[in-house]
C-alpha cells in the first residue's frame, strides 16, 4: 500500500512538472551553452548537449575526446577574441525536495526534506594547443545532502592530458584524429557511459559500484544487517589515480569512430578490511600495486549518442591488498599481499531519429577466494556475479501535436545477479539487485553564463536477502528540484 501511494505521488508530481514546464516551453525558445565553454565560444547549448547539460551529444563527446578544443585558433586561451577576464570555471548544485525510504524484515526508515545536494566546482580546458586539463573540487559542506548527512571534501579530479603524441614519432594522422594522448592524475575511467554525465542525480549505475558481500543501498545506508567482509573496494565508477593512454580515429569505412583507453591505476585508494589490524586501532589502507583498465569502441554512422550506433568491450584486472604492513600498521598505502580480481564486459548504444538513445552494458565480475580467506571465512570461494543496465533516453524534438524541445525523459533498469558468494554460507541469490529509475527533466533557461533545469527523478530498488532474517531490502527515492550551473 505504501509503495502504491508513493508511486501515485510521483506520477502526480511529474504531471505537475510537465504542466509547469510546458508553459515555460512556450516562452523559452533560445538554448545557449553550458557556462564554462559557452563563455569561451559563444556556443548554443544544443551544440554539445542533449538537449542541455550534463549529457553530451555526438559533438560534445568529440570535443571532450579532442582535449576540449575544436582545432580552431580560438581554442588557445590567449587568443585575441577571448577576454582576458575569462576564466574556465563553473559551479553546479541542485536545490529542491528529496524523500527516501527503505525497509527490511518488517522495519524501515522514511525521511524527506528540502535542501541541496552539495557543490561541484569545475574547471576544464586547454593550457596550450596540445595540453588539456581538468579539475573538479567538491568542498565539504555540513548541511548538504538534503539533511541525510554532510558531504565530504574531495578533489574528485585533477589531471593533465598531453594530446597527439603520435606527432613525435612521425605518424601521419588526419586533422580530426587524436591517435595517442596521455592523461596523468586522478580522473573518471572511460566507462561505457559516464556516470558524471548522466542526467540522473539520485541514482548510481549499480554495476559500476557493486561489491560482493556489501549489501546494495541508495541514499540511506546502514539499514541492512547481513554482510560478509571483502577487502576489495575497487569500483569502476569511482574516479581513480593513474595514467591513461587514449586515442580516437575517424574510420571512413564505417563513417564512425574507433576509440580506445588503456589505464594503469594505483591502489592507494583501497579502503576494505585488512588482516593484522587490531581491534580499536586505525590501520592504513591501500597499497602501491598497479591495476589495469581498458575500453575500446567502434561506432557506425556517427558517434552513437544522437546519430549512428556503437559497440564496445571493456575490462579491469588487478589485486586488492589484504594484510597491513607489520612494520607500520597505521601507514597509508603500504598494505600488501594483494589478491586478484577481474571485471569484463561489453556495451552498445543505438540511436533513432535524433530523438531516441537506447544504450546499455553487461559486466562479469570475479573476486579471488583468497580475498575472503584473508578475512577468516571458512571454505571461502571465488565470488562471481553479473551486472547490467539498459537506459532509454528520449529527447522529443518533433511531435505531431506539440513541440517539446527542452525535454529529456529517461528510464533505466539496473540488475545484479550473483553466481557464487565468497562466503559459502550465504545463499546464491544474496544481494541480487533490481533497480528502476524514471526521469523527467526540462530546461527552463540556458544562456552563455547560466543554465537551470527542472528535475524530477524516482527510483525503486530491491536487494535480495540482506536482512537479518534473510528478508529483502526495499528502497525508494524521490527527488524534485532545480539543477543549475553558473
Q: What is the pLDDT of residues 23-50, one digit of tens each?
A: 333 333 333 334 667 677 777 666 788 8
Q: How far is CA 373 from CA 101, 318, 379, 461, in A?
A: 35, 18, 8, 31
- pLDDT for the residue numbered 281: 66
- pLDDT for the residue numbered 477: 94
- pLDDT for the residue numbered 363: 98
pTM for this predicted structure: 0.88
Distance of alpha carbon 330 from alpha carbon 276, whole angstroms: 11
pLDDT above 50 (res 1): no
Highest mean pLDDT of the ranges 146-155, 429-438, 446-455: 429-438
- Rounded mean pLDDT, 300-314: 96
pLDDT above 60 (res 20): no
pLDDT above 80 (res 13): no
Distance in Å from the first CA to the final CA of the chain = 42
74-80 long-range contacts, CB within 8 A, separation 24+: 74/40, 74/41, 75/126, 75/129, 76/126, 76/128, 76/129, 77/125, 77/126, 77/127
- Rounded mean pLDDT, 137-165: 87
> Percent of the chain having pLDDT more than 90?
51
- Rounded mean pLDDT, 118-141: 91
Q: Residues 242, 261: contact at Cβ < 8 Å?
A: no
Q: Residues 448, 38: contact at Cβ < 8 Å?
A: yes
Distance of alpha carbon 10 from alpha carbon 278, whole angstroms: 48
Q: Is 52 exposed, middle or buried (0-12, 13-18, 19+ CB in 10 A)?
A: buried
Residue 133 phi/psi, 5-degree rounding, is -150, 165
Q: Which residues pair with 120 in a beta bridge?
A: 92
pLDDT in tens, 361-408: 999 999 999 999 999 999 999 999 999 999 999 988 766 555 566 899
pLDDT above 80 (res 476): yes
Q: Residues 186, 159: contact at Cβ < 8 Å?
A: yes
> Percent of the chain having pLDDT more than 70?
86
Least confident of 150-164, 170-184, 399-413: 399-413
- Rounded mean pLDDT, 55-75: 86
Q: Residues 270, 323: contact at Cβ < 8 Å?
A: no
Q: Residues 238, 211: contact at Cβ < 8 Å?
A: no
Amino acid at each position: 500500500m505504501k509503495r502504491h501511494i508513493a508511486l501515485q505521488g510521483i506520477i502526480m508530481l511529474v504531471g505537475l512538472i510537465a504542466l509547469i514546464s510546458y508553459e515555460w516551453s512556450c516562452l523559452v525558445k533560445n538554448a545557449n551553452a553550458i557556462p564554462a565553454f559557452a563563455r569561451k565560444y559563444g556556443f548554443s547549448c544544443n551544440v554539445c548537449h542533449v538537449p542541455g547539460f550534463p549529457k553530451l551529444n555526438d559533438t560534445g563527446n568529440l570535443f571532450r575526446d579532442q582535449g576540449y578544443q575544436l582545432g580552431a585558433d580560438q581554442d588557445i586561451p590567449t587568443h585575441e577574441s577571448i577576454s582576458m577576464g575569462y576564466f574556465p570555471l563553473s559551479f553546479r548544485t541542485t536545490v529542491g525536495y528529496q524523500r527516501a525510504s527503505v525497509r527490511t524484515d518488517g522495519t524501515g526508515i522514511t525521511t524527506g526534506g528540502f535542501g541541496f545536494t552539495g557543490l561541484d566546482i569545475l574547471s576544464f580546458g586547454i593550457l596550450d594547443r596540445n595540453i588539456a586539463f581538468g579539475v573538479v573540487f567538491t568542498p565539504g559542506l555540513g548541511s548538504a545532502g538534503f539533511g541525510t548527512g554532510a558531504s565530504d571534501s574531495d578533489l574528485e579530479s585533477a589531471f593533465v592530458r598531453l594530446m597527439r603524441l603520435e606527432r613525435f614519432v612521425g605518424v601521419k594522422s588526419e586533422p580530426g584524429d587524436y591517435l595517442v594522448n596521455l592523461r596523468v592524475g586522478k580522473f573518471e575511467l572511460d566507462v561505457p557511459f559516464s556516470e558524471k554525465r548522466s542526467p540522473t542525480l539520485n541514482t548510481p549505475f549499480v554495476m559500476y559500484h557493486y561489491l560482493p558481500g556489501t549489501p546494495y543501498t541508495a541514499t540511506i545506508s546502514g539499514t541492512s544487517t547481513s554482510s560478509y567482509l571483502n577487502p576489495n573496494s575497487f569500483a569502476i565508477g569511482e574516479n581513480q589515480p593513474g595514467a591513461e593512454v587514449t586515442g580516437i580515429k575517424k574510420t571512413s569505412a564505417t563513417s564512425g569512430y574507433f576509440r580506445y583507453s588503456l589505464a594503469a591505476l594505483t591502489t592507494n585508494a583501497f579502503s576494505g578490511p585488512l588482516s593484522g589490524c587490531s581491534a580499536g586501532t586505525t590501520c592504513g589502507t591501500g597499497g602501491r600495486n598497479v591495476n589495469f583498465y581498458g575500453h575500446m569502441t567502434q561506432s557506425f554512422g556517427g558517434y552513437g549518442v544522437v546519430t549512428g550506433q556503437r559497440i564496445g568491450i571493456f575490462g579491469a584486472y588487478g589485486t586488492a591488498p589484504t594484510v597491513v604492513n607489520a612494520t607500520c600498521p597505521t601507514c597509508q598505502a603500504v598494505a600488501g599481499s594483494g589478491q586478484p580480481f577481474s571485471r569484463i564486459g561489453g556495451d552498445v548504444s543505438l540511436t533513432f531519429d535524433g530523438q531516441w538513445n537506447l544504450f546499455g552494458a553487461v559486466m562479469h565480475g570475479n573476486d579471488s577466494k583468497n580475498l575472503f580467506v584473508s578475512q577468516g571465512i571458512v571454505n571461502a570461494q571465488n565470488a562471481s556475479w553479473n551486472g547490467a543496465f539498459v537506459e532509454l533516453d528520449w529527447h522529443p524534438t518533433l511531435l505531431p501535436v506539440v513541440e517539446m524541445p527542452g525535454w529529456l525523459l529517461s528510464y533505466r533498469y539496473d540488475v545484479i545477479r550473483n553466481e557464487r558468494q565468497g562466503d559459502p554460507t550465504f545463499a546464491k541469490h544474496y544481494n541480487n539487485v533490481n533497480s528502476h529509475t524514471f526521469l523527467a527533466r526540462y530546461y527552463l533557461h540556458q544562456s552563455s553564463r547560466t543554465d537551470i533545469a527542472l528535475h524530477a527523478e524516482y527510483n525503486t530498488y530491491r536487494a535480495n536477502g540482506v536482512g537479518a532474517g534473510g528478508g529483502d531490502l526495499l528502497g525508494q527515492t524521490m527527488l524534485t528540484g532545480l539543477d543549475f550551473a553558473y
